[in-house]
Structure 1
Amino acid sequence: MDLTTDYMGMKLRSPLVPSASPLTGDIDNIVWMEDAGAAAVVLPSLFEEQLSMESYELHHHLTYGTESFPESLTYFPEPENFRLGPDEYLELIYKAKQKVKIPLIASLNGSSLDGWTDYARMLEQAGAAALELNIYSVQTDPDKTSDQIEQSYINMFQVVKAAVAIPVSVKLSAYFTNMANIAKRFDQAGVDALVLFNRFYQPDINLETLEVQPHVLLSTPQAMRLPLRWIAILYHRIHADLAATSGIHTAHDVLKMLMAGANITMLCAVLLRHGINHLRCIEQEMREWMEKHEYESVKQLQGSMSQKNCPNPSAFERAQYMRALQTYKPEWGRIYEPSYYHG
């Protein structure tokens, strides 16, 4: 059975790729992942603030004025030390490259042009097979238009793409007015792949300490519906490859993403919960399902349930929305009619 797939010009043994996480920042784990069947590995994100002096400016704005009233002295958290600095990140790539044969995809996380190009070249020289731009930016300026924001992302990609010879993907959030349009614009700009989607981790407020604190919730299988929908819409409408991420926990999730049109599926939360060896279970279950349903290859699956032959995807999506609402029945039984209610 042929599980191979193509991604950004690389031929991979399967569509199973561990995504950026604390697990992928350790050389022993990367070796373990290759042994367990990972086709490639995305390294943890290297943040823009690690490459410039902007972290000091960020700290200034976070702490400015807090001494004005005692109850807010500890409201904003001190910036924590990054686990991997720029030099350590380069060393990770270089040393891991000596121990594994699978492609190592470096990840850069930022929101401006500063510091990206020089370091992108260094990542390439250290041995990264490809680069993933993880664009994370929460826009708070009410005077900035959506077109200005989107064009800044395109510009950022183009600058990095021009600086390196290795493939470059972009990891996007789902919060665009027209996802199809921004995908097309990146495609026209020459992006090698789109990774759908980035997850925004929303902070929380600790009522006891009066501090804003990070709150990380690992994805659940329900999260896969959003990338599943958009990959099915974009498949064969853009030339760039498509990587599915978020909510992929089982072999069935992987198979659905492939049928929608994904080239690869990225795994994170499931490996954090169940361990790296769980890759073996997912691959084995994939093989069993494909054999049972007489599929001989991943490429035979890919895009088979996409919307490439649908003349009007918008009408299709609206029809599915209406169908879902009109056919739903509550699990607990009958819906009460107005006459059953008593004031």
Structure 2
Amino acid sequence: MAAPEADSLEALYDAFASMNMEGGWHRKFPALWPEPRRNFLPHVWRYAEVKPILDRAGRLVDTAQAERRNLTMFNPVEGNVYSTVRTIVAAYQMIRPGEVARAHRHTPNALRLILEGRGTYTVVDGSQVEMRPGDVLLTPNWAWHSHANGGGEDCYWMDFLDVPLVHLMEPMFYQPHPAGLEADVTELAEAPIAFRWEDTLAALDAEQARVGEGAPASVTLGPAQLDTIALRMMRIPAGVETASLRTTANNIFAVVRGNGTTVVDGQAMEWRFGDTVAIPAWRPFTHHAAEDAVLLQVTDEPVLAKLGWLRTETP
């Protein structure tokens, strides 16, 4: 093949391609596009199918082999092996009576929604707090945390972490506790990091009275919050459908109570207690409750809002 002429476009491209550079006027792949692309997929994970697998893992995998006996929910988009949505990962976890998950800390923020079982507790930076069904508990980044089951029941919960965001930004640090567990521990009945189910129900009752019985009611969990993840509890009365919403934020919904259907970008997904629904960014969605339902919304809105990228529409 003849060499390109010295003053031709082909020669120009060869000159800077060998320098790991690309001309902005002839990109092979665009760097900008009119609106967010549809990358991650809507998906639902069913607790009724997961729980028996966790039970089998409880018999086969002890805490010496895996301190955290969990099953991570990875989005089925091609090439993905970890993230549930772009910036958040969710997992189901189970701890058996007498087991202790040793303390560690990491830069990702984390939280958990307790599904079933009593007698377990978490220790976060020296504060020991009981975990009960319906409770939501926070583990802020770089806080020591461990879990233990001092009761007689297997305990099941859901974890949510911003690990995929940390992967993208690179500041990942992880450290196991040098002694295995924190030595100076204070047992607390209540703590800012623990949102009790009965308090959430009371807040939802108050909000329901304000918006009316036939409308969805939503409350933000706080005042303690994570920097990268916002949390809301939403109650949807039986037979009610939420307004269609599209947002640049990524969302995961966990079913705390009831059953119904979520339609994401035209795809209908049924859900019931304990299920997990992934709704990637910029996909229009609605929820419909077949019976009175309560959903936990886990969203990366704080990140988008901080950077000026949060957009929400009602298409």
TM-score w.r.t. structure 2 length?
0.25
Normalised to the residue count of structure 1, the TM-score between the two structures is 0.24
Larger % of helix: which? 1
Relative to total residues, which structure has the larger strand share, 1 or 2?
2
